[in-house]
């Protein structure tokens, strides 16, 4: 009999692995103290957070907005979209909303999502990071055009 109360060594090892994974998850949740720890954002994370900036959205609405905003260059397929949504929820960047549109404007199967305060901070941080990169590009272009390097 092992510390888990089982005589099956494979089951004991499995329980040890599960315990370790739980500890790692708890540790990683407590160690992340700054929105900057998420940066740079993955492309699909950025587009989902941006879609939720300023308003709640359902998954299909997010998918359509990203497709339109990127002129078809970024397509969030359902598996990617909903997998990413689950991850953003587990990281505390978005949450499911209990607010619903009027029944005549809604489909009861839809789930609506919104940014959390931390999600907004992360999005703001990524926007500042991207703005700095654009400034660097402009500076480099100006230097190239004037012949100074």
- DSSP H helices, the chain, are 9-31, 43-52, 59-69, 78-90, 117-146
Q: CA-based angle 45:131:119, to the nearest 5?
A: 35
Q: What pLDDT is recorded for position 98?
A: 85
Q: What pLDDT is recorded for position 15?
A: 60
Number of Cβ atoms within 10 Å of the Cβ of 46: 19
Q: How far apart are CA 103 and CA 1, in angstroms?
A: 57
Q: Quick check: 110 and 88 in contact, CB under 8 A?
A: no
Q: Quick check: 96 and 69 in contact, CB under 8 A?
A: no
Q: Going residue by residue through the chain (149 aa), what tens digit of pLDDT does each one get?
A: 555 565 666 666 666 766 776 666 666 555 556 888 999 999 999 999 999 999 999 999 999 999 999 999 999 999 999 999 999 999 999 999 987 766 676 677 889 999 999 999 999 999 999 999 999 999 999 999 887 76
Q: How far apart are CA 78 and CA 61, in angstroms?
A: 12
Who contacts 69 (Cβ-Cβ below 8 Å, separation ≥6)?
47, 50, 51
Q: What pLDDT is recorded for position 43?
A: 96
């Amino acid at each position: 009999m092992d510390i888990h109360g089982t005589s099956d060594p494979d089951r004991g090892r499995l329980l040890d692995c599960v315990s370790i994974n739980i500890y790692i998850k708890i540790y990683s949740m407590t160690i992340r103290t700054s929105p900057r720890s998420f940066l740079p954002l993955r492309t699909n994370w950025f587009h989902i957070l941006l879609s939720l900036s300023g308003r709640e959205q359902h998954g299909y609405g997010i998918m359509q907005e990203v497709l339109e905003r990127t002129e078809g260059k970024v397509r969030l397929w359902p598996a990617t979209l909903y997998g990413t949504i689950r991850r953003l929820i587990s990281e505390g960047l978005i949450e499911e909303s209990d607010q619903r549109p009027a029944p005549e404007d809604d489909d009861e199967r839809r789930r609506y999502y919104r940014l959390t305060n931390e999600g907004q901070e992360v999005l703001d941080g990524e926007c500042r990071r991207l703005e700095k990169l654009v400034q660097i590009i402009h500076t480099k272009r100006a230097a190239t055009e004037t012949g100074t390097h």
